[in-house]
Amino acid sequence: MIVQLNESLLQIRDLYKRFSISGDFLDQLRFEGGKIKRHQEHVHAINGVNLDILKGEALCVVGESGCGKSTVARTVMGLLNPSSGSISYEGQRIDNMSGKALMPYRKKMQMIFQNPYASLNPRMTVSETLAEPVQFHNPKWSGAEVRDKVHEVMFSVGVDPSWGVRFPHEFSGGQRQRISIARALAVDPEFIVADEPISALDVSIQAQVLNLMMDAQEQRDLTYMFITHDLSVVEHFGTRVAVMYLGTLCELGTSEQLFDSPRHPYTQALMSAIPKLADDRPNHIKLQGEVPTPVNLPSGCVFHGRCPYADDRCKQEIPQLIVTDSGTQVACHAVEEGRI
């Protein structure tokens, strides 16, 4: 199958997302030097992310916990409102739409969540769970049509349609995740956001679910945005990879480029930390210190405090994504100046 990788399906432009952590209005008031002052503190979860998702690709977003990858996914799906910036789907801005106007897009964009134990309603049978979105998005369909559709998706994810009368607790983790995938596929979406869909599963089951997702992509021409912290999965599954650190994009490239020759110092450290079967002992690039808190962001490049190549420019100026000679996009002054 030849995948055309030139048309962009989803555009994220200058996306920012802040979460207030100082409580409601009264909690923010402080008495200071004889005056009442208002203090506000924010967690800066996403800080200026620009990203294009191309038709037919599987874009993986990776990073450590707290880097904002799930927030990006949720903002794309409209589960969170961006603080600023825009998200467009096929050229149409969707981040400021009303719920009603968004309806056709909700049918095109579906989400698979991390934990299949929490994302399936324990009081609904599998067929009810699967029929609900079909009925909701196709109100004119008859009961028989809905039933056929449910059977079809159950069959396509390898769950016996006769098990539809069962409840989620009667299934194993892997089967539940198959049902979550079936629910996403039930409305024939074009674009699926998968937020850590396999990290709650065992290795042998992970392989089954990954294969299922790859088959579905081939059969249905899906585009994936795949959020994960497991880099070895990325290498296998992703066509392109975006590496995030503290709410910003460090590096973006095809998975071959990124795994064969990572350019950003953080990507290099991250890649070297994957435990490989071939290694005898851990042999990784050590980073100094820890991820700074996203409440008080470091000035300049967010990575400068831990970067072995940081200089004065890194402490002041925020690096922009630039295209390197190897074809990847890297946000790093040192790479830009040719120091690494």
Partner 1 sequence: MALLEVNNLEVCFGLRKGEVKALRNIDFKIERGERIGIVGESGAGKSVLGFSIINLISQPGYVSQGEVMFEGQNLAKMNHQQLRSIRGNRISMIFQDPMMTLNPVLTIGDQMVECLMEHRTISKQDARNIAVQKLQQVYIPSPETRLDQYPHELSGGMRQRVVIAIGLLMDPDIIIADEPTTALDVTIQAEIMELMLELCERNNVALILITHDLGVVSQVTQRTFVMYAGRIIEQGPTKEIINDAQHPYTQGLINALPQMGVRGKRLHQIRGAMPSLQSVPVGCAFRERCDYAIENCSHNVPDFTESGGCKVACHMVAELKREEQAVKLEIKGGAQ
Query: Does 170 interact with partner 1 (rule: CB under 8 A)?
Result: no
Which residues 144-163 are close enough to bind partner 1 by CB under 8 A? Answer: none
> Quick check: helix, strand or coil at residue 20?
strand
Q: Report the 10 Å Cβ neighbour count for 38.
A: 9
At closest approach, how far in Å is the CB of 208 from partner 1?
5
At closest approach, how far in Å is the CB of 323 from partner 1?
23
58/241 Cα distance (integer angstroms):
8
Total chain residues near partner 1 (CB under 8 A): 45
Going by C-alpha positions, the residue among 148, 149, 109, 114 that lies closest to residue 229 is 114
Q: Which two tokens stand for residue 78?
A: 């409209």
Residue 236 neighbours by CB under 8 Å, 6+ apart = 210
64/196 Cα distance (integer angstroms):
12
Site string for partner 1, 69-88 (x = CB under 8 A): --------------------
| CB closer to partner 1, 156 vs 175 | 175
State which of residues 47, 129, 156, 255 lies at the interface with partner 1 (CB under 8 A).
Answer: 255
Query: Does 166 interact with partner 1 (rule: CB under 8 A)?
Result: no
Query: Does 239 interact with partner 1 (rule: CB under 8 A)?
Result: yes
At closest approach, how far in Å is the CB of 268 from partner 1?
11
Residue 125 neighbours by CB under 8 Å, 6+ apart = 164, 165, 166, 167
Q: Cα–Cα–Cα angle for 93, 98, 103, nearest 5°?
A: 85
Query: Does 205 interact with partner 1 (rule: CB under 8 A)?
Result: yes
Query: Does 90 interact with partner 1 (rule: CB under 8 A)?
Result: no
Q: What residues line the site for partner 1 (CB under 8 A)?
A: 64-65, 172, 174-175, 202-208, 210-211, 214-215, 229-233, 235-237, 239, 255-256, 269-270, 272-282, 284, 286-287, 290-291
